[in-house]
Structure 1
Amino acid sequence: MIVVNAFVILLLYSFVNDGAAKRAPVVIVPGDMASPIDCKVTDQENCEKRTGWFRLWLRVEDVLRGRFSCISSNLRTLFNTKTNTSHSPHGVQTRVAGWGNTSVVEYLDPSHLAKLFHIGSDAAAMVQALVSWGYERDVSIRGAPYDFRYAMASQPEWIAKLRILIEDTWRLNNKTKVAIISHSMGGLFATWFLNQQSTSWKDKFVHCFVPLSTPWGGSIGSLWGITSGYNLGIPIIKSKDLRESQRTTETNYMMIPDPRFYGTNVTFIETLKQNFSLHPKDIESFFYTSGNDIGEKIYKKVSVENELPSPGIMMRHPMVKTYCFYGTGLSTAAKLIYERGFPDSQPKKVVYSDGDGTISRESLSGCRFWQKSININNDQRQKTENLGIHGVSHSGIFADSVFLNSLEDILLVRN
């Protein structure tokens, strides 16, 4: 009898705890080039002959058919020096597809070809884990894609839409606070968004912020892209086909490495005639020497409009509980060495350092600055955890067991 009573008490205790603890619904903010972009072409001289709206970024089938040069041409933006704004080429309209849907952050291209080449399915493993915990696609898992070509200040409509999406997700899930999970550059966008919201709004609607693999201190990949073109490690994409669009992309200039993380004297690019560090004079000379005058103008624009140090991207703490995860222990590009043909050829040699294979450890661990601030202010809204996981890659973080086990606990909302 005593054993039965103990069992009943334990069972009742479980029911009480289950009732007191529920999981926060999730809004996912994807990384750089991880949002789908549709396109409509009205210029008859355009290389693209399809009519109506079609998927510009990304259909792996188009890349395999040798159409990437045309894709890149229509993906590029033009910079108007008079208005200080970026825009699509004449006769090209674009829009971000799938707002609020889980599918667009789960699979950028849902085709079998994309899955075969493991392209654009980074978040799928995490979404599948969330579903196994009882989450529902498009209800308690929502996607917040954005136009990755433009910096945050250039697309205020995204800020307004994300606020509405979070409030809608809160209502759909019995007024449960929402967890914002971001990947890579999405962490910068999500931080920018949170810093635009009032404390009372965040206290009501946001459970926590979980940035994954975020380039807080910039990325050598951005410099690589605007110098000679960077194919993101995707072998079926030619780097030279990407450079034109990468040189006109605001976010690449936003992610030029931050000297506060590395120092102003560290050399990032070596050439036969000149080396380039993060010293302001070197940055200016880099744009000139690489034949990228418009790049310097875009760089100055995004630095001013997005309240970024010059150069740099570390932002104010978002004033919600923040859990930062990133990979370490993998060879990551740290310096590009060019010989003949700079800047049109690819680097002859790449010097590597520690990181997640894409972003350096110095940049990924930026949340350490936020950790220091809570020790000073003792404000629980500034609670920050900063966890590097050895051997985990930039996108592999989504499937990592250490991260997923931690996330399952982080998402619990205890009354």
Structure 2
Amino acid sequence: METKLRCLPRLLLILFTFSVVGQTAVLSSTESHQRYVKHASGVHPVVLLPGNTCSQIEVRLTDAYEPLSPLCAARKGDGRWSRLWKNNTAADAEVPCFADQLRLVYDHAAGDYRNAPGVETRAVSFGSTRGFLADDAADKELCMGNLVAALEREGYRDGETLFGAPYDFRHAPAPAGQANRELSLFRRRLGALVEHASKANGGMPVILVTHSQGGYFALDFLRRSPLPWRRRFIKHFVMASTGAGGFVLSMQGLATSIAPSSSSYSSPSPSDVLSMPSVGRTFASTFTALPSPVAFGDDTPLVVTRNKSYAASDMPAFLAAAGLPPYAVRLYETRALPVALNLGAPVVPVTCVNGFGMPTPEMLVYRPPGRPRARPRGGVRRRRRGRELGKYSGA
């Protein structure tokens, strides 16, 4: 899912050239592209949606917050925003505080996910690409940093022709008619950003570029937008490394509870806090990329353990075996699964970008304790039915 984005700058320039020049030949060199972008009377602005965990999240604690310890109460009630995710400079002792403040709670009365009481959060710098560029240099390419740099070399400018739409990656789309405050707010803000980007560039429609989880948010946004609006404001939708029908690797973290050969995560650092079950399993987005029966079929085994195999149609049983409480399994059935089963076309020009030559698990096989794990079988083979083949023994 986290395919590198090296090809996207060139792809966007090709899309731009075709859309403006029409029947003329595509410019042949990077220098020609740069010259055209800088001197054109108008360009198609680009709006970027990053991948999972790339958006930076800030927190503010009100007097209603009940801290786990005096350390967690250090910023309570002071009215100031501070970095919650991703905080690489925090001490390991703050991990329990981050975990408590990052977790989501499902409000049964409201029928929606929300923060813990007294916790307010926001995505940083909406409208700018600076809002999701990771502080850690190792994450720069994963979080569109290299893509932004490449586009800026070609003449794009943050806040002028290049925009970012960071989001709260803990949340996820829900079926129509169900409460989903976070996504409703995001859709309104994204719509206003697209309109602003277009109007600031002479009415040119926008090229919407997403990576990984950002693709799910964009699909939800486009499908809920009126068709005349889409035709007016969206020139092209580029969806990079988004498994619209889910992917097997999303089951791996959950499978640790049912796989006897796997070990639990211990002593995480602040940058690893999302790996804690008490945090990550509370997110609505935990279910977003689980394999859909539409894409994977009802009978194909995806996780194989000593005692049982699980196909996409067995997801409720898989989640229960993984230790999720009954209400969480029910949320998968009533919120995440209907979205996956009713995924439709955005009805705008679309380009999907997926990596090749990348190890892509189709099955996770867990061996009993004491038995050596088998090596990956099959490797990466020719694509079939939209999925990379190759079965791997699980971690």
Q: TM-score range by the shorter chain?
A: 0.7 to 0.9
Q: Give the match's secondary structure for 1:93.
A: strand
CA contact (8 A) 2:125 2:131 kept: yes
Cα distance in 1 for partners of 2:350, 2:87 equals 34
CA contact (8 A) 1:333 1:352 kept: no
1:121 shift after superposition = 5.4
- From 223, 243, 264, give the equivalent of 2:277: 243
1:26 shift after superposition = 0.6
- From 162, 182, 191, give the equivalent of 2:219: 191
Q: Aligned pair 1:30/2:26, yes or no?
A: no
**Structure-2-length-normalised TM-score:** 0.72
- From 351, 356, 363, give the equivalent of 1:328: 356
More strand by share: 1
1:276 shift after superposition = 1.4
1:203/1:87 Cα in 2 relative to 1: closer, same or farther (>3 Å)? Answer: same
- 1:138 counterpart residue number: 159
1:290 shift after superposition = 2.2
Q: Aligned pair 1:262/2:288, yes or no?
A: no
Q: Aligned pair 1:46/2:68, yes or no?
A: yes
- From 117, 127, 140, give the equivalent of 1:90: 117
- Deviations along 1:78-134, whole A, 9 cap, x unmatched? 1233443211122322122211012113x133xxxx11x436753111111111111
CA contact (8 A) 1:69 1:242 kept: no
1:21/1:262 Cα in 2 relative to 1: closer, same or farther (>3 Å)? Answer: farther
Q: Give the match's secondary structure for 2:361.
A: strand
Cα distance in 1 for partners of 2:270, 2:365 equals 23
Identity %: 25
1:291 shift after superposition = 2.2
More helix by share: 1
Letter in 2 for 1:308: A
Cα distance in 2 for partners of 1:275, 1:244 equals 25
- From 40, 54, 57, give the equivalent of 2:85: 57
- 1:385 counterpart residue number: none
- 1:300 counterpart residue number: 333
Q: Give the match's secondary structure for 2:131.
A: helix
1:258 shift after superposition = 1.6
Q: Give the match's secondary structure for 2:120.
A: strand
Cα distance in 2 for partners of 1:45, 1:268 equals 40
Cα distance in 1 for partners of 2:269, 2:58 equals 23
1:24 shift after superposition = 1.1
1:67/1:235 Cα in 2 relative to 1: closer, same or farther (>3 Å)? Answer: closer
Q: Give the match's secondary structure for 2:334.
A: helix
- 1:209 counterpart residue number: 237
**Structure-1-length-normalised TM-score:** 0.69
Unaligned runs of 5+ in 2: 1-31, 175-179, 258-263, 389-395
Alignment of 1:259-408 (within 5 A): 259-279=293-313, 282-293=314-325, 294-303=327-336, 307-309=339-341, 315-338=343-366, 365=386
Alignment of 1:143-222 (within 5 A): 143-153=164-174, 154=180, 155-222=183-250
1:192 shift after superposition = 1.4
Letter in 2 for 1:148: F
- Deviations along 1:271-304, whole A, 9 cap, x unmatched? 232221222xx32322322221232122023236
1:163 shift after superposition = 0.6
1:315 shift after superposition = 2.4
1:71/1:339 Cα in 2 relative to 1: closer, same or farther (>3 Å)? Answer: farther
- 1:122 counterpart residue number: 143
1:320 shift after superposition = 1.4
Cα distance in 1 for partners of 2:96, 2:300 equals 34
Letter in 2 for 1:163: G
Unaligned runs of 5+ in 1: 1-13, 342-346, 367-387, 389-415
Cα distance in 1 for partners of 2:140, 2:155 equals 27
State the number of aligned residues. Answer: 327
CA contact (8 A) 2:84 2:102 kept: yes
1:301/1:362 Cα in 2 relative to 1: closer, same or farther (>3 Å)? Answer: farther
